[in-house]
Amino acid sequence: MAILIEKEEIPMFRIVPAFVDKSDYWEKELHYATRLGNEFKGKTSITFETTQGPRSVSTTVWSVTHDYLQLKGGMNIPLNSVIDVRF
């Protein structure tokens, strides 16, 4: 089970790749998270892998690039470290 942290704490952790299936469904989920953040200012719960185990953050997703989730406040999470996305 992931430990919930504040988005400002993300830089305190060494983020590592997670071995999760990245299917077409996954891409749709990430784009929905972006739409939720930009159009409705809604938050998404993102679980990602670190060297200290899974961490989760509830925040607004501003955009999805080829390699990163860009969050409100200028934080980035590498896509290859994302374990789960929930709305």
Q: Which of 76, 63, 72 is nearest to 33 (CA)?
A: 63
User: How many Å apart are CA 38 and CA 22, to the nearest integer?
Assistant: 23
Quote the longest CA-to-CA distance of the chain. 34
The DSSP annotation for 7-47 comes to: GGGGGGS-B--------HHHHHHHHHHHHHHHHH---EEEE
pLDDT-derived band at 86, boundaries 50, 70, 90: very high
pTM (predicted TM-score): 0.92
Cα–Cα distances in Å, from 6 out to 19, 43, 50? Answer: 24, 13, 14
Residue range 31-76, pLDDT digits in tens: 899 999 999 999 999 999 999 999 999 999 999 998 999 998 899 9
For position 14, what pLDDT does the model report? 98
Measured distance CA(74)–CA(62) in Å, rounded: 9
The pLDDT of residue 21 is above 80:
no
